[in-house]
Structure 1
Amino acid sequence: MYVCLCHGVTDRDIRQAVFDGAVTMRDLARELGVATECGRCACSANQVRKQSLLQISEPELVAA
Structure 2
Amino acid sequence: MYVCLCNGVTESAIRNAVDEGVRTYRELSFKTGCGTTCGSCVPVARALLQECLSETESHFSPPELHVVSAA
TM-score, normalised by the number of residues in structure 1: 0.91
State the partner residue of 1:28.
Answer: 28
- Secondary structure of the residue that 2:3 maps to in structure 1? strand
How many Å separate the matches in 2 of 1:20 and 1:3?
18
How many Å separate the matches in 2 of 1:53 and 1:36?
21
State the partner residue of 2:58.
Answer: 58
Report the identity percentage. Answer: 38
State the partner residue of 2:9.
Answer: 9
How big is the shift at 1:60?
Answer: 2.9
How many Å separate the matches in 2 of 1:59 and 1:16?
15
Q: Where has structure 1 moved over 6 Å in runs of 4 or more?
A: none
RMSD: 1.2
Q: Which structure carries more helix by proportion?
A: 1
How many Å separate the matches in 2 of 1:57 and 1:8?
27
How many Å separate the matches in 1 of 2:61 and 2:32?
29
Equivalent position amino acid for 2:24 in 1: T
| Number of aligned positions between the proteins | 64
- Secondary structure of the residue that 1:63 maps to in structure 2? coil
